[in-house]
Amino acid sequence: SSELTQDPAVSVALGQTVRITCQGDSLRNYYASWYQQKSGQAPVLVIYGKNDRPSGIPDRFSGSSSGNTASLTITGAQAEDEADYYCSSRDISDDWVFGGGTKLTVL
Contact set with other proteins (CB under 8 A) = 1, 29-33, 35, 37, 41-45, 48-50, 54, 84, 86, 88-90, 94-101
> At 60, is the secondary structure helix, strand, or coil?
coil
Instruction: Output 89 or 106, the one with its CB closest to other proteins.
Output: 89
| Residue 36 C-beta: closest distance to other proteins, Å | 11
Instruction: Output 39 or 79, the one with its CB closest to other proteins.
Output: 39
| 78-107 as b/e: b if 16+ CB within 10 A | eeebbbbbbbbbebeeeeebbbebbebebe
Instruction: Output 59 or 94, the one with its CB closest to other proteins.
Output: 94
Burial (Cβ within 10 Å: 0-12, 13-18, ≥19) of residue 62: middle
| Residue 104 C-beta: closest distance to other proteins, Å | 14
| Residue 89 C-beta: closest distance to other proteins, Å | 7
Whether 99 and 86 have beta carbons less than 8 Å apart is answered as yes
Instruction: Output 55 or 79, the one with its CB closest to other proteins.
Output: 55
